[in-house]
Structure 1
Amino acid sequence: MKRVWCLYRVSTKSQVNLEDDIPLQRNACINFIHKQHGWTLCNELYEKGISGWKTKNDDRDALLTIREGAINNEFDVLLVFMLDRLGRREDETPLVISFLHDCGVEVWSVQEGKRSIESHIDKLITYIGFWQSSGESLKTSIRVRESKKQLSEQGYYQGGIPPFGYKLSETNERHWKDSSRRIKRLSICIDEADIVRIIFDLYVNQNHGIKRITSYLNNNHFKTRSGKEFHTSLVSRILKNPVYIGYKKYNSFDSEKEGFQPYNEKLCIIPNEMYEKAQKIRKSRNNKNQLQDKSNILTKGNLMFSGLARCYYCNSKLTANYLYRNVLRKDGSTYKKVIYRYTCPLNKGKDTVHEQYVWGAKKYDKIIMDEVKKLIESIEIKKLINTTEKNIKSTVLDSLEKNLRDLIKELRRLKNQRWLLSEEIIKVIENKSHFTSEQIGEAIELKEKEIISSEQKISDLNLRVKLFKETASKINGREILDWECLFEEADNDRKKAMLANLINTVQLGRNRVIITFNFFFQEFLENLQKN
């Protein structure tokens, strides 16, 4: 009587059926055993989703079990459907057979019969067989990788989670592997695309950092695809993904290189210019050694040129500073007035180089703004400034109103749940409920807190929508959006961003202000003078 162990292996889990079995190999092996005299099946080992080429023998639990069983003389025959089920590694798999042979175990294959390695020729034939299997696996891998690469280059979707802002849509085109399936392609998800536009607008036009953008989205009740709050990692990935201008990245399967699918206009969510500006900002903020680093342009506070102002004498970046001063009212009472200032951090007022090291923000902000306005009065500045304010405001407003509708819907659901709990109280009184009065009371109390919180969110968002509409109507009602009017209507964040688009640095000295414009604007002015 020969005790038989069977080994079944498939390389991918998609080859395993619903009953968690491997039908083809198992049926063939059992039929083979029935035809042999004196063979009895004692054990069956399964390897599901294990590659015989990529996975080393020491990492395969089934082979370790077989090795231990052979040492303990637990079986006499190891049966597989084909020998390559043992593995496809020409440097390891022949050693498995040799080891089993030394332990007195016969290795059989349904397709190839008994594998003997008693002679030198047998060992050579065994090695050549597994060498061929390894080569076939390598060629299969190359064919699959090249096929996926070519399909990616042609723009076909190759699986994975769609980037934020997109969804999967089935086409009428049949799948090349399975005619019952349809090919899927990426398409724009309108709700998520609106959030992507807001993120780029905050980053490019308002100089918001990634953390501040994340806080803005969460404070305004924007949610991710899974209904959770935003994280900085997701915002960062969105800002550097070229798919939003129609170029989807894919793994080219060549080392660590990345490829790009052909340009697809249907995937465009933001303009090319906005994406390029975002990449320049990202690069400048990551490059700490850049001479003109605007990465720390402040958008909070009352100093209009924080991050742009420099000391005329030592070229150090000026820091924000303030002090309190008691001011006497006409009625004899006093109040504290805040005085904002620019100060040079490298001077303590003791050297002869610095003629001045403190500048009043109110005075010098006005001087600089007057000079800027005087310069741009005679030129068509709107050609240089992003005039998509109206579209951005419309996008933000639509998103805020959608969030408001979702909150109202959620409030209705909570109130309905509270009503059902109230109905349950009657059942408690009639002894028809599975709950106690204390349990129902606690549930109602918790639901009341959720309703109050939801009503507060709706109230806050209603106020935001109202203020947003009032601001939008002032700007959208104008036929011509000239820079000065747009600047006056903007909030502090956008004003600073607009100035940063024009000005590179502002040097402050004693009775001296030197304004250096950005390269593109400076070049524009020079060409204007030549013409």
Structure 2
Amino acid sequence: MTRVECLYRVSTKGQVDHDDIPMQRIECRKFAEQQGWNIIKELCEKGVSGFKISADDRDAIQELREDAMNQRFDVLLVFMFDRLGRRDDETPFVVEWFAKQGIRIFSVKEGEQKFESHTDSLINYIRYWQSEGESRKTSMRIKTRLDQMRGEGLYTGGTPRYGYRAVEKGRRNKKDKPVKDLEICPEEAAVVKEIFERTVYEGAGSFILATELSARGVRTHHGAQFNVSTINKILRDRQYLGYLITQDITSPHLPELQIIDEALFNAAQEITEQRKTQNAAWRNIPRQNCSGVLLGGNLYCAACGSRMTSSSPGEGAKRPYAEYICYMGANHRIACSGQKAYVAKRVDDLVLRVTGMLLNTIQDTPKDESIEKRVLAEVKDLERQLADTRKQADEAAKAQEALEMEVSRCLMGQSQFTAEMLSKLIEQAAQKHKALNHTAAELEQKLADQKKIADGVQTYYDRFLGWSMEFGMASLARKRIIIAQLFKRIELDRGYNLHFEVDWNYEQFIDSVNVKGKQGITAVGITLPPKVRPKAGKTAKASQTAKNGRKRKAEPISA
């Protein structure tokens, strides 16, 4: 009796729920009974796409191949041929392979697929070419509709991101079946907020956060422990701002799904971007925030320019205190004439004094003075320069046009210019016109950049003002992260002389602060009032003379 193996396949879960496989089984069994065949094996594939998944990755196809090579059956029976697959560059050859093994291929609806002539092979290919086309069109229609739904802010399925859960809220699809929507999960949202806040306010690293959350028994939606990758993925995800995001589709803002405010999110992006290995050369944020000292990432040796590291005393250490070390100089990696080690506490105390003085100045400064007089004035100046340059470019264009019109008169001998002179003048006018247009384009770009800066000034001003209010009572971890963002670079030299370079985003406010009575803020850094800055190398007598009224030049801060 003819031995038959059957393959049943459905590509979606919906077809499984609607009993498509039992329907295929009933029809195949009825067909085999009519032919007098004996079904010896039935293979089922549930939720397997014949278009997206290769035959090499389908267990059922591989099992059929093995049985065919071992001559365990005579006929391969399917409900329709597209149950074998829908790929025009693969499925026709899979079917032909079975035929070459001596297996007859039958479909309940389409009969037998033979390979007795060239026409049979062509029909076999055309069948799967058409099936793939149908799959592509179906896929395109479904994707378009799903994109439309996501663009409208509707949840379309999939595992919700951490911090959310899918629940039924009464929405129904076109088949009147209930569908789910997203809502914030309060317990998980608290964890998400903790991750963002500790990253921004304490500078906590992804490894520390993942370790602590796992130790507390916090798990992901898949029941796994948190790891560095999980933390970084959460920190980069804009959905926590209140958007549904899938690939290149972003929904309108959905306030009911917002967990993190934009200012906190942007601050987290600044920190995570600096901590990337490829950005090590310009980062000023410490990669770790658990060293017990104040500075990390933005402290440099003034003598050789290399980044300094910190060391904490271990058990039995010769020096029972933390130090800042010029690692490159101390290990003779480069020539360094500076001091190799500094007591961390002395450096930290000086930095705290400077930072406190700097932040206190902003509290008495009106917003208008900090923002309008500084940034908006630069915008107006660029607008004026651009208008003048455009006017000059127009005049140069008219002058060039007038000289070009003089050419015809020159040819008729009616011009006061010779041909050689006129050619030279036209070339000069064209070069001037081109140069002015180039200058105008540069000014347009500068103006656009300055306007962009002006739009972000309010954010930086509010952040700067907030720092000034919290700095005095902040923890060491919080102070460390504030200093790392405020100072782009701090240079440390012999005698504990410090030089500060303020990040430009905050320097614009400092320049507008009234620093009368203080030795102030310059283009290169900050110095403290003379009374707290004894000049390095001076004798006690010289210092006393200075105290009695002799004027001195501003010097870097020293201990």
TM-score tier, shorter chain, comes to 0.5 to 0.7
Residue equivalent to 2:45: 48
Residue equivalent to 1:135: 133
Q: TM-score, normalised by structure 1?
A: 0.65
Question: Structure 1 residue 506 and structure 2 residue 495: aligned?
Answer: no
Q: State how far apart, in whole Å, the 2-side matches of 1:499 and 1:56 are.
A: 55
Q: State how far apart, in whole Å, the 2-side matches of 1:144 and 1:369 are.
A: 59
Residue equivalent to 1:275: 265
CA contact (8 A) 2:205 2:287 kept: no
Give the deviation of 1:198 after TM superposition: 1.3
Question: Structure 1 residue 314 and structure 2 residue 304: aligned?
Answer: yes
Query: Which segment is superposed worse, 501-510 or 481-490?
Result: 481-490
Residue 327 of structure 2 aligns with an amino acid whose one-letter code is: P
Give the deviation of 1:526 after TM superposition: 1.9
Q: State how far apart, in whole Å, the 2-side matches of 1:349 and 1:94 are.
A: 68
Q: State how far apart, in whole Å, the 2-side matches of 1:482 and 1:59 are.
A: 57
Provide the alpha-carbon RMSD of the alignment.
Answer: 4.2
Residue equivalent to 1:488: 472
Evaluate the alpha carbon distance shift between residue 519 and residue 46 of structure 1 in structure 2; reply closer, same or farther with a 3 A threshold.
same
1:88 to 86, 89, 105: 86
CA contact (8 A) 1:381 1:482 kept: no
Helix, strand or coil at the partner of 1:47: strand
Helix, strand or coil at the partner of 2:199: helix
Question: Structure 1 residue 261 and structure 2 residue 261: aligned?
Answer: no
Residues 65-109 of structure 1 deviation map (CA, whole Å, 9 limit, x = unaligned): 666766777666554322333443445555566666677765443
1:524 to 471, 485, 509: 509
Residue 522 of structure 1 aligns with an amino acid whose one-letter code is: E
Give the deviation of 1:58 after TM superposition: 5.5
Residue equivalent to 2:228: 232
Evaluate the alpha carbon distance shift between residue 366 and residue 265 of structure 1 in structure 2; reply closer, same or farther with a 3 A threshold.
same
CA contact (8 A) 1:70 1:100 kept: yes
Residue equivalent to 1:369: 352
Give the deviation of 1:527 after TM superposition: 3.5
Question: Which residues of structure 1 form unaligned runs of 5+?
Answer: 252-257, 325-335, 385-480
Q: State how far apart, in whole Å, the 2-side matches of 1:349 and 1:236 are.
A: 34
Residue 274 of structure 1 aligns with an amino acid whose one-letter code is: L
Evaluate the alpha carbon distance shift between residue 5 and residue 197 of structure 1 in structure 2; reply closer, same or farther with a 3 A threshold.
same
CA contact (8 A) 1:244 1:269 kept: yes
How many residue pairs get aligned? The number is 413
Evaluate the alpha carbon distance shift between residue 381 and residue 361 of structure 1 in structure 2; reply closer, same or farther with a 3 A threshold.
farther
Give the deviation of 1:276 after TM superposition: 1.1
Residues 276-309 of structure 1 deviation map (CA, whole Å, 9 limit, x = unaligned): 1111111111144554422436644553334433
Give the deviation of 1:363 after TM superposition: 3.8
Q: TM-score, normalised by structure 2?
A: 0.62
CA contact (8 A) 2:8 2:79 kept: no
Question: Structure 1 residue 148 and structure 2 residue 146: aligned?
Answer: yes
Residue equivalent to 1:9: 8
Give the deviation of 1:352 after TM superposition: 11
CA contact (8 A) 2:365 2:513 kept: no
Which residues in structure 2 correspond to 1:193-342 (within 5 Å)? Answer: 193-218=189-214, 224=220, 230-251=226-247, 258-296=248-286, 299-320=289-310, 338-342=320-324
Give the deviation of 1:54 after TM superposition: 4.3
Evaluate the alpha carbon distance shift between residue 528 and residue 8 of structure 1 in structure 2; reply closer, same or farther with a 3 A threshold.
same
Report the identity percentage: 31
Residue equivalent to 2:530: none
Q: State how far apart, in whole Å, the 2-side matches of 1:86 and 1:368 are.
A: 72
Instruction: Name the one with the larger strand percent.
Output: 1
Question: Which residues of structure 2 form unaligned runs of 5+?
Answer: 368-464, 516-559
Q: State how far apart, in whole Å, the 2-side matches of 1:193 and 1:355 are.
A: 49
Q: State how far apart, in whole Å, the 2-side matches of 1:193 and 1:383 are.
A: 37
Q: State how far apart, in whole Å, the 2-side matches of 1:120 and 1:347 are.
A: 79
Residue equivalent to 2:394: none
Which residues in structure 2 correspond to 1:85-124 (within 5 Å)? Answer: 85-90=83-88, 93-94=91-92, 107-124=105-122
Q: State how far apart, in whole Å, the 2-side matches of 1:34 and 1:229 are.
A: 54
Residue equivalent to 2:402: none
CA contact (8 A) 1:10 1:16 kept: no
CA contact (8 A) 1:245 1:270 kept: yes
Residue 237 of structure 2 aligns with an amino acid whose one-letter code is: N
CA contact (8 A) 2:273 2:279 kept: no
Q: State how far apart, in whole Å, the 2-side matches of 1:188 and 1:91 are.
A: 45
Which residues in structure 2 correspond to 1:390-405 (within 5 Å)? Answer: none
Residue 362 of structure 2 aligns with an amino acid whose one-letter code is: I
CA contact (8 A) 1:341 1:360 kept: yes
Residue 352 of structure 2 aligns with an amino acid whose one-letter code is: M
Question: Structure 1 residue 161 and structure 2 residue 143: aligned?
Answer: no
Helix, strand or coil at the partner of 1:378: helix
Q: State how far apart, in whole Å, the 2-side matches of 1:6 and 1:314 are.
A: 78
